[in-house]
Amino acid sequence: MKPILFVLAILPLILALSGCGEEIQDTRTLGQARVQAAETVFGLEMTSDERDLMMEDLTEQRDSYDALRRNIPDNSVRPALRFDPQLAWARRLYAKSNEMTPPNEMAVWGDPGPVKRPARLESLAFAGIGELGKLIRQRQVSCLELTDLALARLEEFGPTLECVITLTSERARQRARELDQMLDRGEYLGPLHGIPYGAKDLLAVKGAPTTWGATPYRDQVIDETATVVRKLDQAGAVLVAKLTLGALAWGDVWFGGTTRNPWNLEEGSSGSSAGSSAAVSAGLVPFAIGTETWGSIVSPCTRCGVTGLRPTFGRVSRAGAMALSWSMDKIGPITRSAGDCAMVFDAIRGSDGRDPTSVDTPFPYRHDQTLDGLRIGYLKSAFDEDYPGRELDHEAMRALRYQGVDLVPIEFPLAEMGIDPSNLAFILSAEAGAAFQDLTLSGRDDELVRQVRYAWPNVFRTAQFIPAVEYIQANRQRTRLMEMMIDVFRKVDVYITPSLSGDSLLITNLTGHPQVVVPNGFIDEDSPHSISFVGRLYDEATLLAVARTYQAHTSWHTKTPPGF
């Protein structure tokens, strides 16, 4: 993450604290020199008379800050201001007449074909959700057996990968027995009935620790269960573990170590959905729940060679999840295939009174949807850049063209708009700095493992110097990006982009658009690579159908790391 560029001047801060030579006994007294030094930090220039006129108001504002800091709300308390990706989208109508889908249209799943219980149950470690679900439905495998298999693999390989924070063994086995009894009575909850999964440990689960991957919170127990976990309980999924995340949702370093990439144990899994991606990649769970604010699903899925969906902002309730950025946080599934992502997403989507940003919109996914009639674009300038895995991405485009797709080149007119998206990245820093201001003010940010420039302690501290005016101005430019994306999706239904190169990842996290990341080869023998598809707001059905079709004609998502 790029810290705030205009807040790097150390000398002005020193001068401001020292009074710049003024003989001031009271260290809290403002003066011309201190205000002028602060101006330098913020890139401002006032006259002496203007400073004098401001002095009383600046003092009153500081007193207000002091009062507010004595009563910092809990992380779960949201700001009154609310981001809505539809604000710009609703101003214009897309040209397509079928933009809005009838609300009664439901997802349609395919049949995985004949299934048979293997001689060794461990052979199912890398099976898809559809296959596992059919084995359970036909009573060839019990829910408890699958749960025990996942728990055994988590116990065996979790320490090697450093991907598990808490095993929820008792909760899981009790639920699995209940689900088997339901089947005995002829009750079936759907495609996730009896399927084990892991949750990123920023999702609260009543009775279990919720550590956020960070030392200051390693003993934290939150007396609630996140909406996502409750919905998965209702869908019949079985929570077997709370998985690692980089401390406070950055990277793969947590208070217990560094989560490993199953393909190469010498490197980290990337993050911050580190444990979720590693556990799915190594076949410890059929699926996991991750979160993304800026790359936290896309990046570890790329590193670990798995498939992930970052849904439209607001499609999945964040109630019970750690807040990092109230206007950018998203929750989504990490699986082995796009089809499996669709099944999990269907279970966790929807509005929730505990999260006012969550919405109900239809998900008319069809397992047999073709690419006929779809306009699929590609971000030409991004693919033209020189970056690792470029040839793999071009091969993926050739595979789509081989399927009859006429790829349409598109561009973001950022230069014409005068916008560099990287200059808006401090929106995330400002919100994260507010979410964890208590750590900064108390000095407990020193307890976090990573104490380098590109880590939360430094970003949180730097964020305290972001002017509210600049935060608002950045969000106004964000609206312009949202309007730009309306024009993009007038030309195409879905577009392809390099997963981690170019501007798309940051832009779409700012605008709230959904993205699916899928494996598309290996840069080296132990280094998976990915390509990404981006879709319209709330149109995960089409987006996942395109990704599923790509995977139906390739086999990268079926590869498994050796040793697991």
Whether residue 82 is predicted with pLDDT greater than 50 in this model: the reply is yes
State residue 16's pLDDT score: 41
Q: Which pTM does this prediction carry?
A: 0.92
In this structure, the answer to whether residues 301 and 376 fall within a common structural domain is yes
Could you tell me if residue 528 is inside a domain?
yes
Task: Give mean pLDDT, residues 235-253.
Answer: 98
Could you tell me if residue 403 is inside a domain?
yes
State residue 86's pLDDT score: 87
- For residue 483, give the 3-state DSSP assignment: helix
Phi, psi angles (nearest 5°) of residue 139 = 65, 25
CB 247 within 8 A of CB 254: yes
In this structure, the answer to whether residues 30 and 131 fall within a common structural domain is no
In this structure, the answer to whether residues 299 and 378 fall within a common structural domain is yes
Whether residue 3 is predicted with pLDDT greater than 90 in this model: the reply is no
In this structure, the answer to whether residues 158 and 13 fall within a common structural domain is no
Task: Give mean pLDDT, residues 12-19.
Answer: 39
In this structure, the answer to whether residues 181 and 283 fall within a common structural domain is yes
In this structure, the answer to whether residues 375 and 290 fall within a common structural domain is yes
In this structure, the answer to whether residues 259 and 185 fall within a common structural domain is yes
In this structure, the answer to whether residues 293 and 355 fall within a common structural domain is yes
State residue 99's pLDDT score: 45
- For residue 227, give the 3-state DSSP assignment: helix
In this structure, the answer to whether residues 128 and 42 fall within a common structural domain is no
CB 482 within 8 A of CB 89: yes
Domain tally, the chain: 2
In this structure, the answer to whether residues 250 and 381 fall within a common structural domain is yes
Range of weakest confidence among 85-99, 416-430, 486-500? 85-99
Whether residue 253 is predicted with pLDDT greater than 90 in this model: the reply is yes
Task: Give mean pLDDT, residues 474-494.
Answer: 96
Positions annotated as catalytic residues are: 200, 272, 296
Q: How many CA atoms lie within 13 A of 412 on its CB side?
A: 23
State residue 8's pLDDT score: 32
Q: What does the alpha-carbon distance between residue 249 and residue 228 come to, in Å, rounded to a whole number?
A: 17
Q: What does the alpha-carbon distance between residue 210 and residue 290 come to, in Å, rounded to a whole number?
A: 14
Burial class of residue 187 (count of CB atoms within 10 Å of its CB; 0-12, 13-18, 19+): exposed
| H-only helix segments in 43-142 | 48-69, 86-89, 129-137
| DSSP state for residue 267 in the 8-state scheme | E
In this structure, the answer to whether residues 44 and 126 fall within a common structural domain is no
Burial class of residue 20 (count of CB atoms within 10 Å of its CB; 0-12, 13-18, 19+): middle
Q: 196-200 and 287-292: which strand pairing? A: parallel
Could you tell me if residue 426 is inside a domain?
no
Whether residue 63 is predicted with pLDDT greater than 80 in this model: the reply is yes
Burial class of residue 209 (count of CB atoms within 10 Å of its CB; 0-12, 13-18, 19+): middle
Task: Give mean pLDDT, residues 270-292.
Answer: 98
Task: Give mean pLDDT, residues 192-218.
Answer: 98
CATH number for the domain harbouring residue 274: 3.90.1300.10
Q: How many CB atoms lie within 10 A of CB 53?
A: 11
In this structure, the answer to whether residues 64 and 125 fall within a common structural domain is no
Residue ending a domain, choose from 53, 71, 89: 71
* Amino acid at position 119, single letter: A
* Amino acid at position 466, single letter: I
What's the CA dihedral at 378, 384, 390, 391 to 10 degrees? Answer: 90
Whether residue 11 is predicted with pLDDT greater than 60 in this model: the reply is no
Confidence at 13, pLDDT banded by 50, 70, 90: very low
| H-only helix segments in 367-496 | 380-384, 390-402, 414-417, 426-435, 437-442, 456-463, 468-491
- Domain that residue 53 falls in: 9-71
Angle at 169 between CA 166 and CA 172, to 5 degrees: 115
Burial class of residue 205 (count of CB atoms within 10 Å of its CB; 0-12, 13-18, 19+): buried
Could you tell me if residue 455 is inside a domain?
no
Task: Give mean pLDDT, residues 235-262.
Answer: 98
Could you tell me if residue 454 is inside a domain?
no
State residue 29's pLDDT score: 85
Task: Give mean pLDDT, residues 541-556.
Answer: 97
pLDDT tens across 109-126, in order?
Answer: 999 999 999 999 999 999
pLDDT tens across 366-406, in order?
Answer: 999 999 999 999 999 999 999 999 999 999 999 999 999 99
Could you tell me if residue 484 is inside a domain?
yes
Task: Give mean pLDDT, residues 64-87.
Answer: 92
Could you tell me if residue 220 is inside a domain?
yes
Q: What does the alpha-carbon distance between residue 278 and residue 276 come to, in Å, rounded to a whole number?
A: 6
91: left (phi over 0), alpha (psi -120 to 50) or beta: alpha
Confidence at 103, pLDDT banded by 50, 70, 90: low
Instruction: Identify the residue whose tokens are 């082995």.
Output: 336
State residue 175's pLDDT score: 98
Whether residue 17 is predicted with pLDDT greater than 50 in this model: the reply is no
Could you tell me if residue 183 is inside a domain?
yes
Task: Give mean pLDDT, residues 316-328.
Answer: 98
State residue 104's pLDDT score: 55
Which residue, among 242, 258, 229, has the nearest Cα to 166 in the 3D structure?
Answer: 242
Q: What does the alpha-carbon distance between residue 465 and residue 433 come to, in Å, rounded to a whole number?
A: 10
